[in-house]
Amino acid sequence: DAKTTQPPSMDCAEGRAANLPCNHSTISGNEYVYWYRQIHSQGPQYIIHGLKNNETNEMASLIITEDRKSSTLILPHATLRDTAVYYCIVRVASRDDKIIFGKGTRLHILP
Amino acid sequence: DTGVSQNPRHKITKRGQNVTFRCDPISEHNRLYWYRQTLGQGPEFLTYFQNEAQLEKSRLLSDRFSAERPKGSFSTLEIQRTEQGDSAMYLCASSVSLAYEQYFGPGTRLTVT
């Protein structure tokens, strides 16, 4: 079973920041938080990952709480192309080779 | 484009027929994964290879399913005696060992009638 809990769906206005929450209260000390997204009719796409520090790349920012029991993926200026299912995953990168996906959050960007 | 490619993109078959899908990973990626995704669900792991060795198989991979990666490059997934419950998107992904991310292909959508 997936080790994360996400809301099934969210809406966000185009141009605004989209904040996607994820709970992972049973995360272990050596497990990373990963985010992937899946645009309709495509395979999942890696977005970002982190261990305990906040991370930022060209796609998004990842904010992890100090106790590591939850995190938030931030898309700073959402566009219609960000409409997708977003998956929050915890895994040990070097050992757990397979990815265990949950149902994710379906993000709708509203024009 | 040097991403993961999968063929065919769509396959419609009748129950009881055999089907084979192909995955070409990103060049020099030594790990290759197969996942299955049904409507409204996240992808589920089926199996993975490191080079030509099949290192793990999910319990979802029944005896009717077989995967190969004979030369450590492309891989095939065969389903024998297809059933309607096999209807799904079959996704392939590749990575280098110990890499953080897996790169997914566009998938093969199987419909069993």
The pLDDT assigned to B60 comes to 85
Asked whether the beta carbons of residue A43 and residue B55 sit closer than 8 angstroms, the reply is: no
User: How many Cβ atoms are within 10 Å of A44's Cβ, its own excluded?
Assistant: 28
Asked whether the beta carbons of residue B105 and residue A46 sit closer than 8 angstroms, the reply is: no
Q: What is the DSSP string of A22-72?
A: EE-TT--TTPEEEEEEE-TTS--EEEEEESSS-EE-SS-EEEE-TTSSEEE
pLDDT digits (tens, 9 = 90+) for B29-85: 999 999 999 999 999 999 999 999 999 999 988 899 999 999 889 999 999 999 999
Evaluate the CA torsion angle A19, A84, A86, B41 in order and state its sign: positive
Per-residue pLDDT of chain A (111 residues; tens, 9 = 90+): 558 999 999 999 999 999 999 999 999 988 999 999 999 989 999 999 999 989 999 999 999 999 999 999 999 999 999 999 999 999 886 665 789 999 999 999 999
The pLDDT assigned to A96 comes to 55
The pLDDT assigned to A94 comes to 63
Chain B residues within an 8 Å CB radius of A46? 100-103
Asked whether the beta carbons of residue A103 and residue B55 sit closer than 8 angstroms, the reply is: no
Per-residue HEC secondary structure of B48-104 comes to: EEECCEEEEECCCCCCCEEEECCCCCCEEEEECCCCHHHCEEEEEEEECCCCCCCEE
Which of A44, A97, A100 is the closest to B48 by Cβ?
A97
CA-to-CA distance for B111 and B50, rounded, in angstroms? 29
Q: Is the peptide bond before B8 cis (omega within 30 degrees of 0)?
A: yes
Burial degree of B95 (CB within 10 A; 0-12, 13-18, 19+) = buried
Chain A residues within an 8 Å CB radius of B43? 44, 99, 101
Chain B residues within an 8 Å CB radius of A86? none
Q: Which amino acid is at A64?
A: I
Rg of chain B over all Cα atoms, to the nearest angstrom: 13
Using CA atoms of B96, B87, B5, B65 in order, give the dihedral in degrees to the nearest 10.
Answer: 50
